[in-house]
């Protein structure tokens, strides 16, 4: 074996050193930036309402992800009808959804409790209390894990479910015959009082009142009525509500979520939780301000003694829903326990 002379050794060592150094210095230049992960996200809300309830979340995620995750937001019915959101999410047509279980026709037994479950909540904060202190979060995860393809991420409360109508409601009898845009389970409950539930695309509701197809909505609180234009086509707002808070959630396609790096999962979850705070403040402030200072809707009410008929009907409705499954029974039992506790606690936990 021929030993290299000193000159050959130094020359070879120099080349190796330069090559190693060049490799080290050049590494950032030759590593190509990965293409961003792109998601399609649809919300239950129309374009105007969506600017408050969903757009801030999407903007926050896009900014925090710093180009690694880019979400394109679609509003109510733009990609698929709201009632088909679960299936679209499950098959990957959409990557993420903001909705309630009831509206998106989720094939899970918890679906009837999403949206507005009659008389189950008093305020928006009841929702996170139920999900994170009383076990609903675990129950919802369990239900969606069984359904497959869709992962439940988080829930929060929003506005109550009042009535805004063309004609005044001052008694339970005034509900009879009203054609109202409302949620599936809420409509099923209200039908016993003569309400005719109507299902149409969200963005068509305002025109449907103008054409006489609808008499109004049992869909939201007064903040939404003023924000989306419903206060411009109806004249009265009933202060009695059939539910004190909307139970809405965020969901993702299971595969899309699995393919997301852990740090981006944390970004998504952190932004979701932060978005709950904005919506709670926006709705809560609006409900008070617009009742007190709004000039488009006249406030009416049904006397408490008569409204007890509706509350009693809700108790029977709860029992009917509880019979659907063992999990449904657990949910109703928790609702009963929670309402007993806040009823005993009194103000400010109850509305009396």
Tokens at 52, concatenated: 């408050």
What does the alpha-carbon distance between residue 51 and residue 13 come to, in Å, rounded to a whole number? 63
pLDDT for residue 351 is more than 80? no
- Compute how many other C-beta atoms are within 10 angstroms of the C-beta atom of residue 146: 11
- The string of DSSP codes covering 167-193 is S---SGGGGTT-EEEE-HHHHHHHGGG
- CA distances from residue 41 to 88, 133, 218, 240 in whole angstroms, order as listed: 11, 29, 26, 34
What 3-state class would DSSP assign to 165?
strand
pLDDT for residue 269 is more than 50? yes
Question: Tokens 């709860």 map to which residue?
Answer: 318
Residue 285 burial (CB < 10 Å; 0-12/13-18/19+)? exposed
| pLDDT tens-digit readout, 230-260 | 999 999 999 999 999 999 999 999 999 999 9
Residue ranges of domains in the chain, CATH in brackets: 37-158+245-293 (3.40.190.170), 162-244+295-345 (3.40.190.170)
Question: Quick one: pLDDT at residue 273?
Answer: 96
- What is the CA angle 8-11-15, rounded to 5? 135
* Percent of the chain clearing pLDDT 70 (strictly above): 90
Write out the H or E segment, with its range, that includes residue 18.
helix 6-30
Contact present, 218 and 162 (Cβ < 8 Å)? yes
Contact present, 37 and 96 (Cβ < 8 Å)? no
Tokens at 272, concatenated: 């979701």
| pLDDT tens-digit readout, 167-201 | 999 999 999 999 999 999 999 999 999 999 999 99
Sheet holding 150-157, edge to edge: 69-74, 37-43, 96-99, 247-253, 150-157
Contact present, 140 and 113 (Cβ < 8 Å)? no
What does the alpha-carbon distance between residue 152 and residue 154 come to, in Å, rounded to a whole number? 6
HEC profile of 117-134: CCCCCCCCCHHHHHHHCC
Q: pTM of the prediction?
A: 0.88
- Report the chain's mean pLDDT, rounded to a whole number: 92
What does the alpha-carbon distance between residue 201 and residue 246 come to, in Å, rounded to a whole number? 19
| pLDDT tens-digit readout, 94-130 | 999 999 999 999 999 999 999 999 999 999 999 999 9
| pLDDT tens-digit readout, 288-337 | 999 999 999 999 999 999 999 999 999 999 999 999 999 999 999 999 99
Sheet holding 162-165, edge to edge: 196-198, 179-182, 216-220, 162-165, 236-238, 298-300
- Average pLDDT in the 281-293 region? 97
pLDDT for residue 7 is more than 80? no
- The string of DSSP codes covering 28-45 is HHHSPPPPPEEEEEEESS
């Amino acid at each position: 074996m021929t030993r290299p002379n000193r000159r050959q050794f130094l020359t070879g060592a120099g080349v190796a050193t330069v090559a190693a150094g060049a490799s080290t210095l050049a590494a950032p230049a030759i590593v190509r930036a990965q293409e961003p992960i792109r998601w399609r996200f649809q919300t239950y809300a129309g374009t105007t309402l969506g600017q408050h309830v969903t757009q801030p979340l999407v903007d926050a995620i896009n900014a925090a992800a710093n180009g690694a995750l880019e979400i394109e937001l679609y509003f109510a019915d733009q990609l698929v009808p709201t009632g088909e959101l679960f299936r679209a999410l499950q098959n990957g047509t959409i990557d993420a959804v903001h909705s309630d279980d009831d509206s998106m026709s989720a094939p899970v037994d918890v679906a009837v409790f999403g949206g507005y479950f009659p008389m189950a909540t008093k305020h928006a904060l009841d929702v996170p209390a139920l999900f994170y202190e009383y076990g609903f979060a675990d129950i919802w995860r369990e239900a969606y894990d069984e359904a497959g393809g869709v992962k439940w991420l988080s829930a929060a409360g929003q506005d109550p479910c009042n009535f805004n109508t063309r004609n005044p409601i001052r008694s339970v009898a005034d509900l009879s015959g009203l054609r109202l845009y409302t949620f599936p389970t809420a409509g099923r409950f209200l039908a016993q009082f003569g309400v005719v539930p109507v299902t149409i695309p969200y963005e068509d509701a305002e025109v449907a009142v103008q054409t006489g197809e609808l008499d109004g909505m049992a869909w939201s609180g007064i903040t939404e009525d003023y924000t989306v234009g419903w206060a411009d086509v109806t004249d009265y707002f009933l202060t009695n509500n059939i539910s004190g808070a909307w139970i809405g959630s965020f969901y993702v396609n299971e595969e899309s979520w699995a393919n997301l790096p852990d740090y981006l999962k944390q970004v998504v979850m952190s932004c979701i939780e932060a978005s709950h705070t904005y919506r709670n403040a926006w709705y809560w402030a609006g409900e008070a301000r617009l009742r007190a200072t709004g000039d488009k809707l006249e406030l009416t009410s049904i006397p408490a003694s008569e409204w007890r008929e509706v509350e009693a009907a809700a108790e029977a409705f709860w029992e009917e829903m509880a019979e659907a499954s063992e999990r449904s029974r657990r949910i109703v039992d928790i609702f009963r326990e929670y309402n007993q506790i806040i009823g005993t606690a009194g103000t400010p936990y109850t509305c009396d």
